[in-house]
């Protein structure tokens, strides 16, 4: 990347000069704690043995050092200074936009089809969105670096480029060569955010994560989560990996105790060596079911192509029209509603997304769930008359 990159030149001046709120636990966290106006008699739930209630009357660690130490080992970074924890990746997305983008002035680039929260957070913060579509031909779902470069040149107030890899809803890992082209682009004056929420589902031989690149690129931010591969969507823990200077800005800007004690307790346990291996074993099982689901679903009359390179824990599959000639949004919507409203099976309709005409996004379930899905899809599509739609 350009040696002229200056973090200070792209951060909002008020954020750069921000004096962060100091939590009571920033200075001391052991002893007789009479500094944070906590309830010294303990939680009302302290006698409930069915809950993780120990020390709930105390504020959580604002820095979450123990979790970060385990992440250093797990992701292979140099120190905890490269990590920030958020309430899901959505808090991280919002923070990054607030740190770098001046409302009503600055812009972000997204690459449709992609995760919708980039646009939602930009709109909330009054930040303009520039769309540079992926190459969707034949379900490639890859970047067009030249077009991103042109967009950066034409929009010099662009502060962030959001890239999703593996993509949602595409399920496709972006080319490392293309990502490097964006990071090294002389027209890039801001930061690149790579959302790797599904990275652990990617074949290990692809070595798809770019997390360690933050040691080389000071303008790179990588997002991970415990929601997907670890199966902990309910605890809402997002992980940001970036240059320590960016991490300091995020810590300065976040809410004082953004990660609650229950989330912290569960996350620390999940990141033990034993449970990391459990996660990897679960991922292997999901890959087996993924392969079986792809093989079986395409044998159903009325199902078209499975798009993308299928690097995540879901498939993006086309529903064809009655003549089985082309993808049909109308029929896909009908299948989506029939499954949810009458058969108790909930998938996601994605036909309105660029390059996803007639598509349903289907998460890989357990063996029994997948079998029920396939049986009902077959009945709907192969036993459906035109009048039913």
**How do the domains of the chain map onto residue ranges?**
7-23+59-271, 276-388
Q: What is the mean pLDDT of residues 280-306?
A: 95
Residues 85/239, Cβ–Cβ less than 8 Å: yes
Render pLDDT for 218-246 as a digit per residue (tens, 0 to 9). Answer: 999 999 999 999 999 989 999 999 999 99
Residue 235 DSSP label: G
pLDDT band at 388 (very low <50, low <70, confident <90, very high): very low
Q: What is the mean pLDDT of residues 184-190?
A: 96
**pLDDT(267) > 60:** yes
Q: Give me the pLDDT at residue 17, please.
A: 79
Torsion of CA 210, 216, 221, 222, to 10 degrees: 20
Q: What is the mean pLDDT of residues 113-123?
A: 94
Q: Give me the pLDDT at residue 19, please.
A: 72
Q: Give me the pLDDT at residue 100, please.
A: 96
Q: Give me the pLDDT at residue 151, please.
A: 98
Q: Give me the pLDDT at residue 28, please.
A: 67
Residues 303/318, Cβ–Cβ less than 8 Å: yes
Q: Give me the pLDDT at residue 355, please.
A: 97
CB atoms within 10 A of CB 366: 10
Residue 161 DSSP label: E
**pLDDT(150) > 60:** yes
Taking Cα atoms as reference points, which of 178, 162, 30, 187 lies closest to residue 94?
A: 162
pTM for the whole structure: 0.89
What average pLDDT does the structure give for the chain?
Answer: 90
Residues 321/333, Cβ–Cβ less than 8 Å: no
Q: Give me the pLDDT at residue 18, please.
A: 75
Q: Give me the pLDDT at residue 20, please.
A: 72
pLDDT band at 195 (very low <50, low <70, confident <90, very high): very high
**pLDDT(48) > 80:** no
**pLDDT(23) > 70:** no
- Ramachandran bin of 27, using left for φ above 0, alpha for ψ from -120 to 50, beta for the remaining angles: alpha
Handedness of CA 300, 302, 307, 313 (dihedral sign): negative
Render pLDDT for 328-374 as a digit per residue (tens, 0 to 9). Answer: 999 999 999 999 999 999 999 999 999 999 999 999 999 999 999 99
Q: What is the mean pLDDT of residues 167-174?
A: 96
Residues 125/95, Cβ–Cβ less than 8 Å: no
pLDDT above 90 covers a percentage of the chain that reads 79
Least confident of 273-287, 324-338, 347-361, 371-385: 371-385
Q: Give me the pLDDT at residue 354, please.
A: 97
**pLDDT(381) > 70:** yes
In whole angstroms, give the CA distance from residue 61 to residue 31: 14
For domain 7-23+59-271, say whether CATH 3.40.640.10 is its number: yes
Q: What is the mean pLDDT of residues 274-301?
A: 94
Taking Cα atoms as reference points, which of 228, 214, 220, 215 lies closest to residue 115?
A: 228
**pLDDT(56) > 90:** no
348 compared with 205, residue with greater pLDDT? 348
386 compared with 96, residue with greater pLDDT? 96
Q: Give me the pLDDT at residue 13, please.
A: 83
Q: What is the mean pLDDT of residues 129-155?
A: 97
**pLDDT(126) > 50:** yes
Give residue for tokens 């970060």: 68
What is the CATH number that goes with domain 276-388?
3.90.1150.10
In whole angstroms, give the CA distance from residue 107 to residue 61: 34
Taking Cα atoms as reference points, which of 47, 27, 36, 61 lies closest to residue 268?
A: 61
């Amino acid at each position: 990347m350009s040696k002229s990159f200056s973090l200070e030149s792209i951060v909002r001046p008020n954020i750069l000069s921000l004096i962060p709120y100091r939590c009571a636990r920033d200075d001391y966290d052991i002893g007789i704690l009479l500094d944070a106006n906590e309830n010294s008699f303990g939680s009302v739930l302290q006698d409930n043995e069915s809950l993780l209630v120990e020390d709930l009357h105390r504020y959580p660690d604002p820095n979450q050092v123990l979790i970060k130490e385990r992440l250093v080992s797990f992701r292979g970074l140099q120190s905890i200074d490269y990590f920030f924890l958020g309430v899901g990746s959505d808090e991280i997305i919002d923070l990054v936009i607030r740190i770098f983008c001046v409302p009503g002035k600055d812009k972000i680039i997204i690459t449709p089809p992609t995760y919708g929260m980039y646009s939602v957070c930009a709109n909330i913060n009054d930040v303009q969105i520039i769309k540079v579509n992926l190459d969707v031909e034949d379900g490639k779902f890859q970047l067009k670096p030249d077009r991103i470069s042109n967009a950066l040149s034409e929009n010099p107030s662009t502060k962030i480029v959001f890239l999703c890899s593996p993509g949602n809803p595409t399920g496709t890992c972006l080319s490392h060569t293309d990502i490097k082209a964006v990071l090294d682009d002389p027209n890039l004056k801001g930061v690149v955010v790579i959302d790797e929420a599904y990275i652990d589902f990617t074949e290990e031989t692809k070595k798809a994560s770019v997390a360690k690149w933050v040691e080389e690129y000071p303008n790179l931010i990588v997002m991970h989560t415990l929601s997907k591969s670890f199966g902990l969507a309910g605890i809402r823990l997002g992980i940001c990996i970036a240059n320590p200077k960016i991490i300091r800005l995020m810590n300065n800007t976040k809410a004082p105790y953004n990660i609650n004690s229950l989330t912290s307790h569960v996350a620390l346990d999940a990141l033990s060596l034993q449970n990391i291996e459990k996660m990897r074993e679960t991922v292997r099982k999901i890959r087996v079911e993924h392969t079986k689901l792809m093989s079986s679903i395409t044998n159903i009359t009325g199902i078209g192509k499975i798009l993308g390179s299928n690097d995540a824990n879901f498939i993006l599959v086309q529903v064809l029209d009655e003549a089985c000639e082309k993808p049909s949004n109308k029929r896909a919507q009908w299948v989506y509603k029939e499954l949810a409203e009458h058969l108790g099976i909930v998938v996601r309709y994605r036909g309105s997304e660029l390059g996803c005409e007639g598509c349903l996004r289907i998460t890989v379930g357990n063996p029994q769930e997948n079998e029920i899905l396939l049986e009902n899809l077959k009945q709907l599509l192969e036993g459906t008359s035109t009048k039913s739609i």
